[in-house]
Structure 1
Amino acid sequence: MGAVDTDQLGSDVDLDQHGATWVMVCLLGAADRASAPSPAPLPAAYRGRSMTTPPSSRYEGAEDPYASAVVAENHEAPTGEGAYSAQAAAMSPEDEETARITAKFGRPRKTIWLVIIGAIGGYIMMMGMGTVLQLRLSIISEDTATATYSTATSLAALLMLPLIPLIGSLSDRTTSRWGRRKPWIVIGYLVATACFYLIGVTENPAIIVPAYVVGLTFAQAGFNAYAVIPVEGIPANMRGRVMGFMGLCGALAMSAAAYIASAFVGNTVLLMCIPPFLAIVCIIPLLVLYKDPQHTAAEVPQGGLLSIFTNFFVNPLKYPNFGWVWLARFLAGIAMTSFLNFFVLYLIIRLHNDPESAGKLAGHLSLMSAPISIIFFTGSGWLSDKLGVRRPLVALAAVIMAGALVMAAMSSNFTIFTVAWCLFAMGQAMYLTVDLALCAAVLPSEADAGKDMAVFGLALNLPTVIVPALAPTILGAHNDNYPLLWGIAAVFCFIGALLMPLIKGVK
């Protein structure tokens, strides 16, 4: 299914196609370096411009000080400031945004390919770490595997809640010559690889648990730094389809990781190191070819460590769009977690299947929903870009998920539950694709993009901690009150849909 429960889908990675794509990207990058003129630096008047405001709207009635410094993609270089000013005046807001991004981050179409290649390995790493840890712990001792795994994952989840936005803030403040995002990608992926190597060579739970917590945290930090690149380096009118492909990679990654891990289960070092190693291999083209510009101290958010904590969250009163999108995402996250974390128990308790049969039925559900997720991950992103809208599609997706939850809660047999499952897969794929583009559209500023996208990530991470803690009370003494659990989740999801009209300035 979607990125929340990606173990429901499966796919193989086409290595030949991957290799061909990498070669093509390399050739594109070489051609760019050979033929493209060096872009002018950002004028001070343009730095810090809101990512959600069309460039022209900041300079109504006056000449845009940035107009002479950038060249739109597929346009010839200006012969003089006056020549380009005339050309810029005829640009649409979309072309002007493309011009700004091209000058600062390189050609968006090349960036798209680099992001998609990076997503393949990145999602396999993120979705596969739990799988390889379970296999490693089972090899050591089946009796203690469950307890050790629960301890490691719980500690990692709690630690990442404050640390990931903190690391995002540090990324925003980075002034390295290698840019703001690349150093954190490299650090995160390398530390994760080292920690997982340590897990592969030891059998001591006292070492495995902290190694997993540190490794997963750094892997998430590196992946979050990568995930900011499509927000910064791709124009809004192309962003939806890219988010769709990224979501598709996430949906297929768990099954791909499980398939790859099964091939190395006899070698514990390779078992643990293959996921982060694949992430490193797939991110190399982006590290080499993506233009991550260096920022001076004056261009990055100001203040020391104290200011990072005081500005940790975005003020929803000052930036209401950000607040409404975050709240809607949080409510949808509660719905997704409630359904995907407890559906197997529903098959056992309410539909009266034994655990082995429930596992097989879960596999059938995965196979049936896979093509639906593929279609709606890719199709909804394309449709969102084509129509130029975000809010209506996010609202529709939330309503579909709410309806699916009600149907699942009232289902009396597996056939009805299957229909509800497929409807939920449709809504979830649609939501996670377009919602990412909506998040990118309401960021308060480019300067804090890393931290703010990490805060958006909390909207989906918090429910994974809250729902399992509250669900036993809601389900009751017999753990069978699923109409109440999923009914509450459906109401939350529907409220999230009702919040969409409150978001202003985004179609």
Structure 2
Amino acid sequence: MSLPTPSGAVPMRRILAFSLLELVALGSLATPLVVGLSLRVLQLVPESGKEAGLAAVTAAGAIAALLSNPIFGYLSDRTTGRFGRRRPWLVAGTALGLLGAFVATFAPNLTVLIIAWVIAQIGYNAALASLSALLADQIPEQQRARASGLFGAFGFLGLVPALLVSTIFSGSIAVIMLFMPIVAVVVTLLVCWKIPDPAIEASSVPKVRLRTVFTAMFVNPFTYPLFTLAWIQRFAMQFGYTVVGTFGLFYLMLRLGLDAPQATPLVTLSTLLGATLNFVAAFAGGYLASRRGNYAPFLVGSAVLLAISLMMKAFTDSLSVFWISTALAGFALGCYYAVDLAIALRTIPARDAGRYLGVFNVAKTLPQSLAPIAAPLIIMIGHGDPIAGGDKNYAALYIVATVLVLGSLITVPWLMPALRRGKTEPVAADAGAEVPAAEVRA
């Protein structure tokens, strides 16, 4: 199956509509992870088993995300029908996510809660895989950095309603768990009603077999090595940032000597500040990166700035330093989101865009589920916090995050062919080339 590469510029309102879908889907996943699942676990298991219970729920969700994103991306590549290739999975995915959230809200025991969270993860990852493929289908190369920036910024903004809902409706688990999933269904229906998604002829699509569906999640890392490097880079960067966000509230309580009611507004305000700078940097960075066609300065600069902000938080108990580092992190992530998805789009075959972008999405969604499992282990390193004392070492948490973020740059020298504008369709390594074959432009 060979599909045409998009060439003509698309209206900005279409990119914004795609970005809005990213916001509601990731926001629906973020709200339970921020507080909803923790509250439900506390209702269902004894106090002594709350950490193990939450770890079981998030681990099961992480596995579901790992498997479902590439599978549904693969299926959307091969979907025929007048409703289009991607829209059926967007609508069905958010609907399934709402079902999972509903069951999780009223689950009578931990086993049902785990099953419900798995259902929700499958649904939203099906939607996210199809959404990324829509970008590959319809956004031309010259607009992809701008679209990448907006996708990343709106995805980060998905944390904002999660925090606001959790704060305003702290006494109602049902509202916390169901608000964003309901919004996601409504927004997805409205956007899918408006956006184009041309159908393809069934005769041009390879037949789907059960064996090929389940092997879709496995990508040979040597076939498209640039894609593999982009995946590793994104996973390390995302994990490094996400792992410190897991215990953000507890960090402020320890380092600044605050209680929970005092620290909670700071978490909300810092998230809003970071989201604002993230959005501004992603929008401006996406515009500049689209014009330059060279993504390397944005990739390297964002990782260095983020690492600086993490190290500032690792060794401070100052509120002023906290705000400065929060602003740096928000700006750095905006610059990064301006190019990370655009880089991936330069490394994947157009004929399997859904499948490969589904695998690429795992590098972003998986850390969000694994971080709550890893963070409690990291803060037990050493002999307590060197700044505030106590038995939890938050300096170690931020140092590990810094190492991961800077470690993501190890891939850059080998990733350089994808950081400069070239042809969109890569040539497989086994065909005699590892990089785009067309002449690279500066």
Larger radius of gyration: 1
**Mapping of residues 112-151 of structure 1, within 5 Å:** 112-130=15-33, 133-134=36-37, 137=40, 150-151=55-56
The equivalent of 1:278 in structure 2 is: 183
Residues 254/365 of structure 1: CA separation in 2 closer, same or farther (3 Å cut) = closer
Once residues 329 and 379 of structure 1 are traced to their aligned partners in structure 2, the CA distance between those partners, rounded to angstroms, is 21
What amino acid is the match of 2:346? Answer: A
What amino acid is the match of 2:406? Answer: F
The equivalent of 2:156 in structure 1 is: 251
Contact 2:160/2:272 (8 A) holds in 1? no
What amino acid is the match of 1:98? Answer: S
Once residues 328 and 114 of structure 2 are traced to their aligned partners in structure 1, the CA distance between those partners, rounded to angstroms, is 38
Once residues 379 and 177 of structure 2 are traced to their aligned partners in structure 1, the CA distance between those partners, rounded to angstroms, is 37
The equivalent of 2:331 in structure 1 is: 426
Once residues 258 and 404 of structure 1 are traced to their aligned partners in structure 2, the CA distance between those partners, rounded to angstroms, is 22
* Equivalenced residues, count: 409
For structure 1, list consecutive stretches of 5 or more residues without a partner in the other structure. 1-43, 52-96
Aligned match of 1:494 in 406, 410, 414? Answer: 406
- Following superposition, the deviation at residue 482 of structure 1 comes to 4.4
Residues 337/112 of structure 1: CA separation in 2 closer, same or farther (3 Å cut) = closer
Pairing 1:98–2:1 present: no
Residues 233/331 of structure 1: CA separation in 2 closer, same or farther (3 Å cut) = same
The equivalent of 2:67 in structure 1 is: 162
Pairing 1:451–2:358 present: no
Residues 273/491 of structure 1: CA separation in 2 closer, same or farther (3 Å cut) = closer
Aligned match of 2:94 in 177, 189, 192? Answer: 189
- Following superposition, the deviation at residue 292 of structure 1 comes to 1.9
The equivalent of 2:132 in structure 1 is: 227
Residues 207/312 of structure 1: CA separation in 2 closer, same or farther (3 Å cut) = closer
Contact 2:289/2:338 (8 A) holds in 1? no
Once residues 217 and 347 of structure 1 are traced to their aligned partners in structure 2, the CA distance between those partners, rounded to angstroms, is 33
**Mapping of residues 3-18 of structure 1, within 5 Å:** none
Contact 1:334/1:467 (8 A) holds in 2? yes
- Following superposition, the deviation at residue 382 of structure 1 comes to 1.9
Please list the CA deviations of residues 275-299 of structure 1 after superposition, one character each: whole Å capped at 9, or x if unmatched: 2232222222432233323334553
Once residues 125 and 118 of structure 1 are traced to their aligned partners in structure 2, the CA distance between those partners, rounded to angstroms, is 11
Residues 502/276 of structure 1: CA separation in 2 closer, same or farther (3 Å cut) = same
Contact 2:132/2:358 (8 A) holds in 1? no
Please list the CA deviations of residues 414-442 of structure 1 after superposition, one character each: whole Å capped at 9, or x if unmatched: 33333223212221222123212212222
Please list the CA deviations of residues 149-181 of structure 1 after superposition, one character each: whole Å capped at 9, or x if unmatched: 554333212322222222222222222332221
Residues 302/487 of structure 1: CA separation in 2 closer, same or farther (3 Å cut) = farther
Q: TM-score, normalised by structure 1?
A: 0.69
Residues 349/193 of structure 1: CA separation in 2 closer, same or farther (3 Å cut) = closer
The equivalent of 1:436 in structure 2 is: 341
**Mapping of residues 372-411 of structure 1, within 5 Å:** 372-411=277-316
Residues 392/176 of structure 1: CA separation in 2 closer, same or farther (3 Å cut) = same
Aligned match of 2:204 in 296, 299, 305? Answer: 299
Counterpart secondary structure, 1:312? coil
Residues 403/150 of structure 1: CA separation in 2 closer, same or farther (3 Å cut) = same
Identity of aligned residues (%): 26
What amino acid is the match of 2:28? Answer: M
Deviates more, 1:344-353 or 1:155-164: 344-353
For structure 2, list consecutive stretches of 5 or more residues without a partner in the other structure. 386-392, 421-442
